[in-house]
Amino acid sequence: MDAILDILDELRPGAAFAGRTDLVDSRELDSLTIIALVAELEDVFDVVVPAVEIVPENFNSPEGIWALVCRLRAQDL
């Protein structure tokens, strides 16, 4: 979970992410940032994020992003 916050801080320096549940809805994460985030997630956690998973529910909060990573890792097993 801390790794998710580190990645977000690197992509959007200065923005507050902890506890947020509106990252997509408030446009804090736009589509370009989401693609950069997906590239980091795939690199760091060795998962493949399909296009169908790029929905606001998965990216609105750091917890949602972490849950997505955990789910994708479990699917690969």
Binding mask 25-64 for another protein (x = CB under 8 A): --x--xxx--xx-xxx-xx-----xxxx-x----------
- Which residues have CB under 8 Å from 20's CB, separation 6+? 26, 28, 60, 61, 62
5 scored as a contact of another protein (CB under 8 A): no
6 scored as a contact of another protein (CB under 8 A): no
DSSP for 54-75, written as a single string: -SHHHHSSHHHHHHHHHHHHHH
Site residues (vs another protein, CB under 8 A): 10-11, 13-14, 27, 30-32, 35-36, 38-40, 42-43, 49-52, 54
